Amino acid sequence: MTVDVSRRALLRGRFDRTASLRPPWACDESVFTAHCTQCADCLQACETGIIVRDAGGFPQVDFHRGECTFCQACVAVCDAPVFRDPERYPPWPQVAEIGQTCLGPQGIYCRSCGESCEAGAIRFVFNAHRVPEPRVDTEACTGCGACVAICPTQAITVGPPMPSRREEAP
Ligand code: SF4
Ligand code: SF4
Ligand code: SF4
Every domain of the chain and the residues it spans: 7-77, 95-161
pLDDT on residue 121: 98
pLDDT on residue 160: 85
- Closest ligand by atom to 135 CA: 3
Q: Residue 4 pLDDT > 50, yes or no?
A: no
- The pTM of this model reads 0.86
- The CATH code that applies to domain 7-77 is 3.30.70
Find out whether the beta carbon of 141 lies less than 6 Å from any atom of ligand 3. Answer: yes
The pLDDT tens digits for 45-77 are 999 999 999 999 999 999 999 999 999 999 999
Q: Residue 28 pLDDT > 90, yes or no?
A: yes
What is the average pLDDT across 80-90?
98
Buried b (16+ CB within 10 A) or exposed e, 50-87: bbeeeeeebbbbbbeebbbebebbbbeebebebbbeee
- Closest ligand by atom to 66 CA: 2
Find out whether the beta carbon of 151 lies less than 6 Å from any atom of ligand 3. Answer: no
The amino acid occupying position 61 is V
What is the average pLDDT across 19-42?
96
Q: Which of 129, 91, 92 is nearest to 109 (CA)?
A: 129
pLDDT on residue 162: 67
Domain 95-161 classified CATH 3.40.50.300?
no
